[in-house]
Amino acid sequence: MKASVYIATSLDGFIARANGGLDWLPGVESEDNSGEDYGYHAFMDSVDYLVMGRNTFDIVLGFGGEWHYGEKRIVVLSSRPVEIPERIADTVEWMSGTPREIVEQLAERGAQHLYVDGGVTIQRFLNEGLLQQLIITRIPVLIGDGIPLFGPLPHDIKLRHVETQSYANGMVQSRYLIDG
């Protein structure tokens, strides 16, 4: 099974402010990016499940409005039960376990490509050697402090650069494959 990350960071490597705030991220509809989706929809079409941590789930729920992920199957990882609103209960479920256990359970269901999201969740999957691809979009802003994308590692992880694309608004997206 393939597991990928698709995420944005500030230029100084943070995925959110220390309080979880994402106010520094430009919206897809903002005039500075001309409605460009940076390959997001094609990426989402390629995945079977989105696996996210509880904190990320809570932040996404806080956006309000229509559920951002439509009918995509979502797994929320947490050691404690997660309250899932009725309106999304058909596509969102809670699971507990190690990243390896989660991957095994989803593979048994026939999943072939996972989208892994959320700082701690990404770090745990990376530490267990369960990610094959990183797609990182760097936003041209320095926020100075926040939640880092990467944390301590048990060993070096070699990446193979596949491509980098720059956009007129200053965003730069790079795709890496994880060797090993």
> What residues does each domain of the chain span?
2-6+37-148+157-178
Q: For residue 68, give the amino acid letter.
A: H
Tell me what the pLDDT averaged over the chain comes to.
Answer: 92
Is the per-residue pLDDT at 11 higher than 60? yes
DSSP conformation class of 86: G
- The rounded radius of gyration (Å) of the Cα atoms in the chain is 16
Q: What is the pTM of this model?
A: 0.92
Burial call 58-72: b when 16+ CB within 10 Å, e when fewer: ebbbeeeeebebeeb
Question: According to the CATH classification, is domain 2-6+37-148+157-178 in 3.40.50.2020?
Answer: no
Is the per-residue pLDDT at 167 higher than 50? yes
Integer Cα distance of 97 and 149 in angstroms: 21
